Structure 1
Amino acid sequence: MRWFLKVFLVLALALGLSACGGSGKFRKYNGPEVTSVQVHKAARKMYLLHNGRVLESYDIALGFAPEGHKQFEGDGKTPEGAYYITHRNPNSAFHLSLGISYPNTADRAFAEEAGKSPGGDIFIHGGPRRPISRRDWTEGCIAVTDKEMEVIYAMVKPGTVIHILP
């Protein structure tokens, strides 16, 4: 009978602890406001800043053709320039994501002059669902791990400026 009581107590404790587990991928952040994001493509680094002071830094993956500025849909490049975070996407195909305001007016005009689409749907997002064999694998987005994306998602608000540098 004692073994039954021990098993029951262990199960009750396990269920109780799992019920107290947080809200999964949605974290809270109470630190300094992220006033800008900087992406350094050549170094494969992203920095979250508060008035020029680095709060966090991350290793990143980029579009599968990382050199140069994104110009057209399907070119595999990550944009370069000043943009802003448009929205949070809790239902991303890549865990969580933050929208980037590409294409801007100049990007659209350049692509239109060439008779092409500039593309769109550029995000900061979590990692792939399957193993990958190359360093840069996105269609033009900026990727981090899922755990890192949870922190970034909590820290960065829509409207935050993002500078994507070569």
Structure 2
Amino acid sequence: MRHLTRRHASLAMLAALAACGSQGAGRAPVPNFVRYDGPPVTQVVVWKGQRRMQLLNGQTVLRSYGFGLGNQPVGAKQFEGDGKTPEGLYYIDRFNPRSRYHLSVGISYPNDQDRAYAAQFGQSAGSDIMFHGRGPEGNAKAPRNRDWTAGCIALTDPEIEEVYAMLQPGIPVLLLA
């Protein structure tokens, strides 16, 4: 009888722990953390005008994606709230598994030059430029507008899962017009 009581207690504890991790009403879906075991990504190149992003190992294209940009896609980001996506050389600097846009990977915008440029006009350069999915918020905007972000680069949720798995901190990101 004592063995049965311990077993029931153990099962009850496991059920309680499982409930803590379940998706309740109003919660974002749990991201799918895919694995990548191919060649390392050594550079990301983004062609804004072509809406094409490539993950490279040396000169070899490992993956290529189409994407959406900020709601003012032409020109380089200069100020917070301008709806533009930066241009120039940046680096992968953070990962957010709890992004409201499914998953997100941050780039090092703004750099010192970006901040100095905005400051001479009494403005902020902005921040939080990411590669991200659509997530529940983006799904409402994305079908109507190809370029719907505040300056980020938006992929589909399955695509950001691949990108998230393939990138590492410090990888250069070249954003071209």
Determine if the TM-score, normalized by the shorter chain, exceeds 0.5.
yes
Q: CA RMSD in A?
A: 1.1
Q: Which residue of 2 aligns with 1:11?
A: none
Once the two structures are superposed, the pairs formed by residues 60-79 of structure 1 within 5 Å of their partners are 60-79=67-86
Which residue of the other structure, out of 87, 103, 109, is the alignment partner of 1:102? Answer: 109
Local SS of the residue matching 1:95: coil
Q: Which residue of 1 aligns with 2:131?
A: 124
The amino acid that maps onto 2:175 is: I
Q: Which residue of 2 aligns with 1:148?
A: 159
Q: How many residues align?
A: 144
Which residue of the other structure, out of 21, 34, 40, is the alignment partner of 2:41? Answer: 34
Q: Percent identity among equivalent residues? A: 53
Mapped to 2, the partners of 1:149 and 1:30 lie a distance apart of: 16
TM-score, structure 2 length as denominator?
A: 0.79
Local SS of the residue matching 1:149: helix
> C-alpha displacement at 1:129, in angstroms?
3.5
> C-alpha displacement at 1:134, in angstroms?
1.1
Q: Which residue of 2 aligns with 1:138?
A: 149
Mapped to 2, the partners of 1:59 and 1:89 lie a distance apart of: 21
Q: Does structure 1 conserve the Cα–Cα contact (< 8 Å) formed by 2:91 and 2:107?
A: yes
Q: Does structure 2 conserve the Cα–Cα contact (< 8 Å) formed by 1:94 and 1:129?
A: no
Q: Deviations over 1:33-55 (max 9, x none)?
A: 00000000000010000002100
Local SS of the residue matching 1:129: helix
Contiguous gaps of at least 5 residues in structure 1: 1-22
TM-score, structure 1 length as denominator?
A: 0.84
Mapped to 2, the partners of 1:107 and 1:125 lie a distance apart of: 22
The amino acid that maps onto 1:130 is: A
Local SS of the residue matching 1:148: helix
Which residue of the other structure, out of 40, 48, 53, is the alignment partner of 1:46? Answer: 53
Mapped to 2, the partners of 1:34 and 1:96 lie a distance apart of: 18
Structure 1 residues 67 and 150, CA gap change in structure 2 (3 angstroms): same
Q: Which runs of 4+ in 1 moved over 6 A?
A: none
